[in-house]
């Protein structure tokens, strides 16, 4: 291996950090506070995943995603999910249109999901039938309607929001749907110091106009850089054991998991851990994944992949507690190997 | 020397230092863990020592076996030996290279750079990022090789038990010291009870003998030669014992056995109260056959043989002597079989009921039979009719004589209460209102049909079509089928009565 390759890798990593920082700074011009959420959304976008944002109304979830669309100069569409929405409203359908010669013909009208950034607002208000319309698009990056298959343009990222409070009239996302989100980010209330800035920006005369600091091509290049980051064996072992630690009955599961968890993470969770950790490693100025990168993304990656049992729900155990317990009890592979 | 060679050298050096440090940590942790696991030994040694002291003292030896500091040293060594062994095993275990480097990474805050570089160095062909990672680690390895590594603290479970076990050990050592102060016990042929009896037995025997004599003289006139005979029979035995140097306990026991068989059961007993209780039996029971006593004696001997208790050579003649006097004793009123057993003597002085004495004999025989059968059978001594648990009042008008209404062995119930279930909710005798009409009511009425005027629609011309008529889907009938359908409807029209107006509904 020549030094030129190493130099190229260093240059890619440097470019990655700079672009990332510029996007973050631009989004932060409109979005006050919520640094962790912004970082999580950007990490998921650059890792090639989708994000589920959970928070009570009024915290700026929708604004964050729309700001990201503006800053990245990507095609952006917003779908407001409602109980009477049909899958065709998401994916698109064939409509009868009059042809030039006076006749009629079926013409496919693509749905709002065909975009780079898709904001699925209040996704849990739609029926599971409509929610599942996103499954193929999120995993395969394509749509199949009838005999027509549409390849979705990269970067494609679904950012869904849901409100954890108003559960009446909602349909919790099925496990298959949840598993397709790389991160689940919990949007909390802003800090006390952020309130003044929020009020100043949102109640004044001037609106904050965002400029596009990146584009689809740059995002795709950054995604490619992320994929090149190597993962050493001990980090792979750590990610595997971390995922296995969420599965009740496994050798790495702590007592809390055995008792309260009914379903652990799938291998897709390990993939998400490594992809998120690669972005973290690049942002930390390293060229390989470390165990601390994996631990840093463990919560957003695993919290929606762990299904609590009845006893856990009745005891008030949260999935974040489960992930923290697994992290605390799981030995680093080198220490375990002794 | 290239950067990679420098990195390899630094990694080797770091591995050596971190490995040695981790070996020491593991050895200490193993020592402490094994030591805490073996904490019970800290108390087990003094406990065993105290038990040994007590056993030695019980057999009459000197309780101070070993000096106390020596026991303390043994107590400390007991958990120390397994701990030292575990530490040596841990020290001999090799620390893997990746673990040593990972520890250095952790302590120097290098975020796995050393471990990762070590792994990538083993790869033949490296990607750009892998090479960059190796070079990144090489820049930091020199500083890492010179940095000091601290031994991490190992959390060891069980350290909280140390004070408890230590306190228990000290307590046992104190107990051991106290036991060491015990005077050596003078042990003869008998047990503790006999020794105590020997200490207080001699004066009591004489007093009791005198009291017994007076009581017998009061209760029933005994042959005047009986007491001297007894004394004469007793005196040589005592003289013999004193000559042979036997313990006093045996003499008491022997005298008891003899008195139990003799004419005055309480004559030589140590309790005045029991003596007074034994007096009525003298009056109430005239005599018992000597064969019975003999049989009982034989059964006792059998039991002794079975339990492995070999009678001492001193006892056997006394038993025989007691048996010889059994006949005399029975004539005086006590039908007890004189034995040398301490428990039998106790029975003799505390129980006076002759029926129970017979029961005792029966029980002994029963027990022997039961043992022969291979198990202890339930005692059927107190055969009584079973308690009636009949709760019924009686059959019809006849009362049930066996029922006491309690369902158990108790007295007749005084009050039977109300023999039926009484509602706690007052129910009115009369319910106001009237029966409901039921859920549905069907009324049929005959109504004459009334004609209604149907509003005629005004026909109007339809507007011209704006578009061509699309192809309508209709069933195309063949000529024959069309004719058949027409004929069918004509036949129905001809057969039908003239159309009447539909019956109108009566307004409700």
* pLDDT classification of B337: cutoffs 50, 70, 90: very low
Q: Min CA distance, B413 vs chain A (Å)?
A: 53
More confident residue, B478 or B362: B478
- Res B339: pLDDT: 43
What pLDDT is attached to residue A193? 81
Q: What is the per-residue pLDDT across B236-255, written as a single tens digit (0 to 9) for each?
A: 444 444 444 444 444 444 44
Structure tokens at B391: 């709760």
Same CATH fold, A229-338 and A1-228?
no
**What does the pLDDT average to over B320-346?**
42
| Closest-CA distance of chain A to residue B505, Å | 43
For B361, other C-beta atoms within 10 Å of its C-beta total 18
Identify the pLDDT of residue B455. 77
N-to-C CA span, chain A: 32
Residue scoring higher pLDDT (B210 or B127) = B127
* pLDDT range class, residue B271, cuts 50, 70, 90: very low
User: What are A153's two structure tokens?
Assistant: 């343009």
**Per-residue pLDDT tens over the stretch B397-421:** 666 666 655 555 555 555 555 555 6
- Res. B324: pLDDT tops 70: no
Q: Is B120 in contact with A291 (Cβ distance < 8 A)?
A: no
DSSP state at residue B265: T
Least confident piece of the model among A107-111, A272-276, B182-186, B301-305 = B301-305
Q: What is the mean pLDDT of residues B9-24?
A: 81
Helix (H) / strand (E) containing B385: none
Task: Residue A209: count other Cβ atoms within 10 Å of its Cβ.
Answer: 8
Assess whether pLDDT exceeds 60 at residue B269: no
For residue B365, the model assigns a pLDDT of 59
Q: Is the CB of B129 less than 8 angstroms away from the CB of A335?
A: no
Q: To probe the interface with B, which of A5, A234, A288 has the most B CB atoms within 10 Å? A: A288
Strand pairing category for A104-110 and A92-98 = antiparallel
The pLDDT tens digits for A229-250 are 999 998 999 999 999 999 998 8
Please state, rounded to an integer, the average pLDDT across all residues of chain B: 64
Residue carrying structure tokens 């069309």? B482
Higher pLDDT, A242 or B273: A242
- Give the model's confidence band at A139: pLDDT under 50 very low, under 70 low, under 90 confident, else very high: confident
What pLDDT score does B142 carry?
A: 78
pLDDT of B78 strictly over 70: yes
Contact between chains at B119 and A228 (C-beta distance less than 8 A)? no
Nearest residue on chain B to A231, alpha-carbon basis: B116
Say what the pLDDT of residue B49 is.
80
Neighbours of B238 (CB within 10 A): 14
Mean pLDDT of A282-296: 91
Q: Flag whether pLDDT at B205 surpasses 60.
A: no
A89-115 per-position pLDDT tens digit: 888 888 888 887 778 888 888 888 888
Q: Return the pLDDT at B399.
A: 61
Neighbours of A293 (CB within 10 A): 29
Select the more confidently predicted residue: B465 or A86.
A86
Q: Does A288 contact B98 at a Cβ distance shorter than 8 Å?
A: no
In words, the CATH class of domain A1-228 is alpha beta
The answer, yes or no, to whether residue A26 has pLDDT greater than 60, is: yes
Q: Is the pLDDT of residue A281 over 90?
A: yes
> Is the distance from CB of A184 to CB of A269 less than 8 angstroms?
no
Report percent pLDDT > 70 for chain B.
Answer: 46
The domain covering A229-338 belongs, at the CATH homologous superfamily level, to: Magnesium chelatase subunit I, C-Terminal domain (1.10.8.80)
* Chain B residue with the nearest C-alpha to that of A281: B111
* Residue labelled with tokens 């209780």: B277
How many alpha carbons lie under 13 Å from residue B122 in its C-beta half-sphere?
10
Mean pLDDT of B471-492: 83
A171 secondary structure, DSSP code: -
Average the pLDDT over each of A54-58, B126-130, B148-152 and give the range with the smallest value.
B148-152
The pLDDT of residue B362: 55
Contacts of B119 in chain A (CB under 8 A): 232-234
Instruction: State the count of interchain CB pairs (< 8 A) between A and B.
Output: 87
CB within 8 Å: B133 and A287 = yes
The verdict on a CB contact (< 8 Å) between B131 and A9 is yes
Cα dihedral across residues B87, B89, B90, B95: positive or negative = positive
**Which residues of chain B have a Cβ shorter than 8 Å from any chain A Cβ?**
93, 95-96, 98-99, 101-103, 111-113, 115-116, 119-120, 125-133, 135-136
Q: Do B99 and A228 touch (CB under 8 A)?
A: no
Q: What local confidence, expressed as pLDDT, does residue A304 receive?
A: 92
- For residue B415, what pLDDT is reported? 57
Categorize the per-residue pLDDT at A47 as very low, low, confident or very high, splitting at 50, 70 and 90.
Answer: very high
Contact B390, B400 (CB under 8 A): yes
Work out the pLDDT band at A2, boundaries 50, 70, 90. Answer: low
Asked if pLDDT for residue A159 goes beyond 80, the answer is: yes
Torsion, CA A174, CA A175, CA A177, CA A180, rounded to 10: 170
pLDDT at B267: 38
Structure tokens of B18? 């971190």
Q: Which string of DSSP letters, residue by residue, matches B106-140? A: HHHT-TTHHHHHHHHHH-SS--HHHHHHHHHHHHH
Buried/exposed A13-41: b ≥16 CB within 10 Å, e otherwise = beebeebbeebbebbeebbbbbeebbbbb
Answer yes or no: are the C-beta atoms of B289 and B283 closer than 8 Å. no
More confidently predicted of B464 and A298: A298
Residue bearing tokens 């990655």: A16
What pLDDT sits at residue B405? 55
Domain extent listing, chain A: 1-228, 229-338
* Interface contact B129-A284, CB threshold 8 A: no
Segment B91-110 shows an average pLDDT of 81
What is the average pLDDT score of chain A? 86
Inter-CA distances, A18 with A15, A23, A262, A290, Å: 5, 9, 42, 21
**CB of A54 closer than 8 Å to CB of A60:** no
Kindly state the tokens that stand for B439: 């859920």
C-alpha–C-alpha distance, residues B465 and A323, integer Å: 71
Phi and psi of B208, rounded to 5°?
A: -65, -40
């Amino acid at each position: 291996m020549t030094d030129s390759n190493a130099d190229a890798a260093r240059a890619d990593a440097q470019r990655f950090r700079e672009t990332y920082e510029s996007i973050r700074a631009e989004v932060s011009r409109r979005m006050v506070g919520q640094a962790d959420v912004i970082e999580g959304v950007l990490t998921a976008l650059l890792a090639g995943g989708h994000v589920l944002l959970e928070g009570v109304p009024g915290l700026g979830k929708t604004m964050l995603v729309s700001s990201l669309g503006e800053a990245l100069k990507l095609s952006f569409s917003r779908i407001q999910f409602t109980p009477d929405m049909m899958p065709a409203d998401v994916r698109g359908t064939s409509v009868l249109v009059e042809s030039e010669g006076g006749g009629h013909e079926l013409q496919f009208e693509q749905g709002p999901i065909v975009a780079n950034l898709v904001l699925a607002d209040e996704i849990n208000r739609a029926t599971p039938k409509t929610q599942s319309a996103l499954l193929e698009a999120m995993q395969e990056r394509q749509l199949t309607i009838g005999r027509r298959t549409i390849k979705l343009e990269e970067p494609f990222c679904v950012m869904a929001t849901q409100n954890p409070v108003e559960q009446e009239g909602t349909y919790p996302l099925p496990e298959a749907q949840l598993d397709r989100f790389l991160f689940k980010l919990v949007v909390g209330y802003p800090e006390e110091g952020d309130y003044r800035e929020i009020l100043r920006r949102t109640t004044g005369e001037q609106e904050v106009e965002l400029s596009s600091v990146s584009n689809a091509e740059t995002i795709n290049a950054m995604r490619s850089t992320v994929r090149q980051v190597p993962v050493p064996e001990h980090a792979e072992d750590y990610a595997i054991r971390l995922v296995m630690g969420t599965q009740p009955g496994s050798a790495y599961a702590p007592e809390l998991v055995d008792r309260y968890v009914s379903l652990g993470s799938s291998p897709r969770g390990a993939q998400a851990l490594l992809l998120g950790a690669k972005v973290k490693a690049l942002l930390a100025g390293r060229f390989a994944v470390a165990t601390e990168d994996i631990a840093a993304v463990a919560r957003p990656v695993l919290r929606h992949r762990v299904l609590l049992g009845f006893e856990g729900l009745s005891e008030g155990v949260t999935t974040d507690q489960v992930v923290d317990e697994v992290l605390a009890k799981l030995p680093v592979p080198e220490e375990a190997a002794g | 020397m290239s950067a990679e060679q420098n990195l390899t050298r630094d990694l080797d050096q770091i591995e050596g230092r971190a490995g040695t440090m981790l070996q020491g940590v593991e050895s200490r942790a193993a020592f402490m863990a094994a030591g805490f696991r073996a904490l019970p030994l800290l108390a087990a040694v003094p406990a065993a020592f105290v038990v040994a002291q007590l056993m030695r003292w019980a057999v009459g030896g000197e309780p101070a076996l070993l000096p106390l500091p020596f026991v303390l040293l043994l107590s400390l060594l007991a958990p120390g030996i397994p701990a030292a062994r575990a530490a040596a095993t841990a020290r001999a275990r090799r620390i893997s290279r990746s673990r040593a480097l990972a520890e250095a990474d952790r302590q120097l805050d290098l975020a796995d750079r050393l471990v990762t570089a070590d792994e990538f160095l083993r790869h033949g062909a490296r990607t750009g990022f892998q090479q960059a990672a190796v070079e990144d680690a090489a820049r930091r390895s020199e500083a890492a090789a010179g940095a000091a590594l601290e031994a991490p603290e190992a959390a060891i479970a069980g350290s909280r038990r140390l004070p408890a076990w230590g306190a228990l050990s000290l307590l046992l050592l104190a107990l051991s010291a106290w036991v060491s102060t015990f005077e050596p016990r003078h042990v003869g042929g008998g047990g503790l009870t006999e020794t105590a009896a020997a200490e207080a037995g001699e004066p009591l025997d004489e007093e009791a003998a005198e009291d017994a004599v007076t009581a017998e003289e009061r209760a029933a006139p005994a042959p005047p030669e009986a007491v001297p005979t007894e004394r004469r029979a007793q005196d040589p035995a005592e003289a013999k014992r004193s000559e042979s140097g036997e313990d006093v306990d045996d003499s008491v026991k022997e005298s008891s056995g003899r008195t139990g068989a003799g004419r005055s059961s309480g004559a030589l007993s140590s309790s005045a109260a029991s003596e007074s209780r034994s007096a009525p039996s003298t009056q109430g029971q005239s005599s018992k056959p000597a064969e019975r006593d003999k049989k009982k004696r034989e059964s006792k001997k059998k039991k002794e043989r079975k339990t492995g208790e070999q009678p001492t050579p001193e006892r056997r003649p006394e038993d025989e002597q007691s048996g010889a006097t059994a006949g005399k004793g029975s004539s005086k009123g006590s039908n007890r079989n004189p034995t040398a057993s301490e428990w039998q003597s106790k029975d003799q002085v505390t129980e006076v009921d002759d029926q129970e004495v017979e029961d005792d004999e029966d029980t002994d025989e029963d027990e022997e039979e039961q043992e022969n059968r291979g198990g202890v059978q339930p005692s059927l001594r107190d055969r009584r009719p079973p308690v009636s648990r009949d709760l019924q009042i009686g059959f019809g008008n006849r009362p049930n004589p066996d029922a006491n209404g309690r369902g158990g062995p108790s007295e007749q119930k005084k009050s039977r209460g109300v023999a039926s279930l009484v509602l706690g909710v007052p129910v009115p005798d009369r319910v106001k209102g009237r029966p409901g009409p039921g859920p549905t009511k069907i009324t049929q009425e005959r109504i004459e049909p009334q004609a209604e005027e149907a509003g005629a629609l005004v026909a109007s011309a339809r507007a011209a079509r704006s578009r061509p008529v699309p192809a309508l889907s209709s069933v195309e009938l063949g000529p024959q089928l069309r004719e058949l359908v027409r004929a069918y409807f004509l036949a129905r029209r001809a057969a039908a009565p003239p159309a009447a107006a539909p019956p109108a509904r009566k307004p409700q």
